[in-house]
Amino acid sequence: MRAGGTSPTDPHRPGSVDQRSVVTLRPGSSIAIGAFGAVAGLALLLPALRGPDRDWVVISSIVLALVLLWLFVVRPCAQLGPDGIRLVNPLRVVDLTWPVIEEVRSRWALELVSAGRRYTAWGVPADPGRPRHGRSTVAPPEGWSGSGSAPSAGRRPKAEAQTVAEEIERRIAADRCRPAAARTGAPRTDVQSWDAPAVAMLVGAAAFFVVTVLAL
């Protein structure tokens, strides 16, 4: 596995994904929590900045809380494209093309296995009311018609692990049914890399908080 390099969504590489064909999945609750947290945080931050006696510990605490809210609640998602999936986690991004995915599981969240390595999608939690999903992708899922297109094509899957796992398996099976010439532009990709802006945001907010505390 490589750490870094071009991703399946790089417009300058062969077989790149048209962003208009990418489906982004994240729970609606994460958006609602993020919006509520942002409003509450700004409601506390703006008066603290405008006050005559600024409490920098309070200000840095609010900034750190907003950054953590963005990274761990709002940012995580899964992006399904024609050639593969991108898992956007708090500080890392994972790019997997359909041929390299060996197994799809759901525990507390969606899990993908490639070359014996397990990748967890923070932005696709499992429904605790449904059985866990776990199936090798060596064979097409039961009921697959072999028509070359996913039965759910055109529909957005629900952003929960069991449903997305089934959608991924359908897309893997559909990819296997594509002519070889149609797959040559999408190299087998198994990439996990740190997301520099996300890491910089966390480090900056944490450093701001630590400096204000030590300055007391």
Residues 110, 120 contacting (CB under 8 angstroms): yes
**If we measure between CA atoms, which residue out of 14, 25, 15 comes closest to residue 158?**
25
**If we measure between CA atoms, which residue out of 134, 131, 92, 88 comes closest to residue 111?**
134
Q: What is the pLDDT of residues 13-33, one digit of tens each?
A: 333 444 558 899 999 999 999
Q: What is the pLDDT of residues 31-59, one digit of tens each?
A: 999 999 999 999 999 999 987 888 999 99
**What pLDDT is stored for residue 180 in this prediction?**
67
Residues 92, 65 contacting (CB under 8 angstroms): no
List the structure tokens of 123: 């932005």
Give residue limits of the domains in the chain.
29-74+196-214
In this prediction the pTM is 0.77
Q: What is the pLDDT of residues 147-179, one digit of tens each?
A: 333 334 456 677 888 899 999 999 999 988 877
List the structure tokens of 133: 């999903």
Q: What is the pLDDT of residues 82-132, one digit of tens each?
A: 899 999 999 999 999 999 999 999 888 999 999 899 999 999 998 876 656
List the structure tokens of 187: 């190299």
DSSP string for residues in 24-66: EE--HHHHHHHHHHHHHHHHHHHHHHHSSS--HHHHHHHHHHH
